[in-house]
Amino acid sequence: MGINGLLPFLKSIQQPTHIKKWKGQKVAVDAYGWLHRGTISCAVDLALEKPTTRYVDYAMHRVRMLQHYGVTPYLVFDGDYLPGKKGTEVDREKRRKSSRETGLELLRLGRTSQAHGELQKSIDVTPLMARRLIEELKKANVPYVVAPYEADAQMAYLERIGEVSAILSEDSDLLVFGAKCLLTKLDQYGECIAIYRSDFPKVSEASLAGWSDSEFCRMAILSGCDYLVNIPKMGIKTAYKFVRRYRSVEKIIRAIRMDGSFIVPASYEKAFIMAEMTFRYQRVYCPISCQLISCNGESILPDSVGIEQEHNFGGIYDSTTASKVASGDLDPITKLELRPALTQTTCSSKVPTTLKRQYYKIKYADLSPRWIGKVAYYEFFCTTCSLSRTKSPQYFTPTTGTPQLEL
């Protein structure tokens, strides 16, 4: 994710800092980033379809850390898939599927360490998982919003209208969307790295003084982004040189073709313009008007934007639907009501028994085989019996060491 090589390119202006510097302020947070980090500790559980809320626990731990330092986290969740990224999403899904198959096979063979690594790469955060975190945010009165499409565009928009003072994310795309202050590499002690847009002219790797946002965006797209794969051999420094010399899209691509060192697809210029428009006009949710608008704040697109191009920025829907998606009440993809369902069993029947055994060997690696069997027996029967005696999921309180079946 992000722009190839952009953060190293800006290394000279990266400032080590602490999150407490934003005490008394709101900071937008990439919620899916925290959820993805949280799935690392429970990747096997998720792959075997076992109930777990450890990814929620991880995210809430981060929320409490920011609150401890007086910072108000404003969590922003990803929404629907952007039509302009269809190719990227398809490739990611193929890689996840391949990793899952490989991981389950390694698990079956007893190679647990390798299996865990592969299964980590196979996990995709879903709207249902996001909703479980939202339920906890509501209890803690933590502000949040579900973006109609990408969280990056939504966070940049919130900063633009003054709703937040900074953006906390590991994705360098935020700088292309116009972020003024990007915080990255947050650790468990609150230490992080700050990148200020106002410091761009101070970059030692290149002279960005006098550069417009459009020129910075073109350099980023040329080096490779989620909306357009980079030209082979085209890195961030080479992209900078072409943009600095030729400026306009047409002249830049013509010069690259004439250079002779690069192979440029025939449709590259059209795709480039589409990527640039996506960074400029992608749909976001306005918490003031409760409507979808462009991330640059424009409610009406210019006449130069055609219907086909507009489709790639994401479709528009009515304010009622937009508000329900933003609050997490509707699935941002299907637009259907989103209610986390209680999982009825501890192990999915779709998962082979041999893999279930391997699961317990991983979870209770410090126990003898004899005790692993007893613990597995206890988890399954005690949890199932507790559920069968309960009229409502709210009556069930999981004990320490058993899979959590609540939200």
115-153 pLDDT, tens per residue? Answer: 778 787 878 889 999 999 999 999 999 999 999 999 999
Kindly tell me if the per-residue pLDDT of 402 is higher than 70.
no
Domain contains 396: no
The verdict on residue 255 lying in a domain is yes
Task: Please state the separation of Cα 268 from the chain's center in Å.
Answer: 27
Q: Report percent pLDDT > 90 for the chain.
A: 59
Residues 238-274: b if buried by 16+ CB within 10 A, e if exposed: bbbebbeebeebeebbeebeeeeebebeeebbeebbb
pLDDT of 360 above 50: no
pLDDT of residue 390: 38
Q: What is the average per-residue pLDDT within 381-389?
A: 38
Strands 26-30, 72-77: parallel, antiparallel or unpaired by DSSP? Answer: parallel
For residue 295, being part of any structural domain is answered with: yes
Nearest to 70 by CA among 18, 32, 16: 18
The C-alpha atoms of residue 8 and residue 24 are separated, in whole angstroms, by 30
Place of tokens 């909306």: 227
Higher pLDDT, 93 or 218: 218
Q: Domain range for residue 169? A: 1-341
CATH of the domain at 246: 3.40.50.1010
Name the pLDDT band for 278 (thresholds 50, 70, 90).
very high
Is position 403 within any domain? no
Q: Is there a domain that residue 371 lies in?
A: no
Q: How far is CA 378 from CA 50, 331, 385, 401, in A?
A: 15, 35, 10, 10
Centre a 10 Å sphere on the Cβ of residue 182 and count the other Cβ atoms it contains. Answer: 28
Is 224 a member of any domain? yes
In a domain, 390, yes or no: no
Residue 347 has what pLDDT? 36
How many CB atoms sit inside 10 A of residue 350's CB? 7
Residue 89's pLDDT is what? 72
Encode pLDDT of 337-354 as tens digits: 987 654 333 333 344 444
What pLDDT is recorded for position 181? 98
**Residue-level pLDDT at 341:** 55
Residues 296, 280: Cα–Cα separation, whole Å? 6
Lowest mean pLDDT among 73-87, 89-103, 118-132, 198-212: 89-103
Q: How many domains does the chain have?
A: 1
Q: Is the pTM of this model over 0.85?
A: no
Overall average pLDDT of the 169-191 stretch: 96
Determine, yes or no, domain membership for 379. no
Question: Left if phi > 0, otherwise alpha if psi is -120 to 50, otherwise beta: which for 103?
Answer: alpha
**Residue whose token pair is 């417009």:** 212
The closest of 51, 112, 118, 46 to 358, measured between CA atoms, is 112
**Sign, Cα dihedral of 5, 35, 86, 274:** negative
Report the chain's C-alpha Rg in angstroms. 23
